Structure 1
């Protein structure tokens, strides 16, 4: 989301000392959220630096969508998600440092985009996927989107409310591609260019399912005081019960899980799904928490 949401993260990350690790490490690929970019020193830049300090010798690739940080930021709002995923798949496949496999960590919308990479592009192999506040069942609202991109967010809200599933908005507005309207389920399934596809809402793509199940671990972090993601249960693959926008259901209560369209039920039984929760607003966590809860999946 907006890079200013990361200011607390950046401050926390600069406080603690670093631990020593092994040089024989699995590379890490990170993908930022809406309004952010690959290299912001208060967000992804701080995360990259912190991981490199905690795990000496690790190769960390912070994804840039475009040729500049400005293009990267704009892509998070306006570049077709399927095109972004294809771009990343090609970039990863061409990186010799990732040939033997990598771990992935996505922040906010970057998490669901990396899940699409796992489902569509198994080479090089993604070993562990860490979703930090990712909206895996989409969102139904943008309740808070502060900071320097607020004028863009206001415009996005108006477009989503007036016609999220029109061809023009679906094609050119990133947030429309994971807009999930529980009151118009058929419209969502028919016209969602991204989320309905990777969540197997129209047909079951067995390749998607097989590829996702290749993950060793799928870690999902939910922020209990999240004021950005609506509903927050989407961060654990839950969502509103279809037909209304008040009552939510968990992943385990959903048709996606019961029909096991993505293999999540089988992964859950095998101990591959990890559900973590932390107090705090969207993407707000300390270095101490990161080291204790997420670093073990990176080392």
Structure 2
């Protein structure tokens, strides 16, 4: 009998240690913004390094769409978002280090793309979603464009202004897929192949709502001096009031919230929505601000 007790005790110690050993920091998945790449040492590479220094032992996956850094950057402009999501969801599902859950952190358009991951691909589960400058109600304007190729930016501006909702543009221009025209909401709802879908503009997909509500926290960062996102309120799920492009409304004033088509009203009342502000231009913040405001949601 004494021998049996010793065996049981040994098993408890071994498996208890094993569980403790596995229960390290929750992994982090990062999705970069337009014109950026997974591993730019001055952007995503620096963020990855900072997180790894602040949270020893954490596994950070910075998503790369394509076989090379150049492809990854190009795909942020020209590769259908829904196809990108298929690739990412498959990658996450196959990564053994993510199977017990992870946190997501998206920068600029990567913010709404990771939200789509939550809604479409609930396994493995995302615990907290941190959207830094993500345009959750889309954009209606293209003031600036990152990257070295100004001719690409000029071409995108012209294309969006002329035919954002044509089939060929929607299929092949990422920014058109979250172009939101407040002057013609019906045109937007019927033509948008990405944003109108994940924002439940045409019909209600209950799984989208249920999956988003599974988050513990949905953190949205708005840049108070943002000169790129138009309107900047989109970073907090606000947007222009329908029919004009001057006066904005908050998330709480929108039909998306009052009708609770996405479950955001219920999440807000449950304290799951977190609205943070950064006093700078688009994606401009200090290490100190990041450590004080973002790191707590990664631990």
- SS for the counterpart of 1:148 is coil
CA drift at 1:278 = 1.1
State the match for 2:129 in structure 1.
Answer: 129
* C-alpha distance in structure 2 between counterparts of 1:76 and 1:38, whole Å: 11
The answer for the alignment partner of 1:28 in structure 2 is 28
Number of equivalent positions:
278
For residue 221 of structure 2, give the secondary structure of its aligned residue in structure 1. Answer: strand
* Deviation at residue 123 of structure 1 after TM alignment: 0.1
Contact 1:35 1:149 survives alignment (8 Å): no
Normalised TM-score (structure 1): 0.92
| C-alpha contact 1:177 1:194 (8 A) present in aligned 2 | yes
Deviation, 1:151, is: 1.8
Stretches of structure 2 that go unaligned for 5 or more consecutive residues are 1-21
Query: How far 1:149 moved relative to its partner?
Result: 3.1
User: RMSD of the TM alignment (CA)?
Assistant: 1.0
Alpha carbons 1:23, 1:58 under 8 Å: kept: no
Moved over 2 A (4+): none
Provide the rounded CA distance (Å) in 2 between the counterparts of 1:76 and 1:101.
26
| More relative contact order, 1 or 2 (CA 8 Å, 6+ apart) | 1
Query: Within 5 A, what are the aligned runs for 1:1-299?
Result: 24-299=24-299
SS of match in other structure, 1:64: coil
Structure 1 unmatched ranges of 5 or more: 1-21
Shift of 1:24: 1.6
Q: After superposition, give the CA deviation of every residue in 1:63-89 in whole Å (9 maximum; x if it has no partner).
A: 000111111001100000000011100
In 2, the alpha carbon distance for the partners of 1:149 and 1:31 equals 22
CA distance in 2, matches of 1:103, 1:243: 37
Deviation string 1:235-286 (CA, Å, 9 cap, x unpaired) is 0000000000000000000000000000000000000000000111000000
Shift of 1:150: 2.1
The structure number with the bigger radius of gyration is 2
Alignment check: 8 A CA contact 1:144 1:227 kept: yes
Mapped contact 1:23–1:56 kept (Cα < 8 A): no
Distance, in Å, in 1 between the alignment partners of 2:214 and 2:68 is 33
**TM-score, reference length from structure 2:** 0.92
CA contact (8 A) 2:170 2:193 kept: yes
Counterpart secondary structure, 1:100: coil
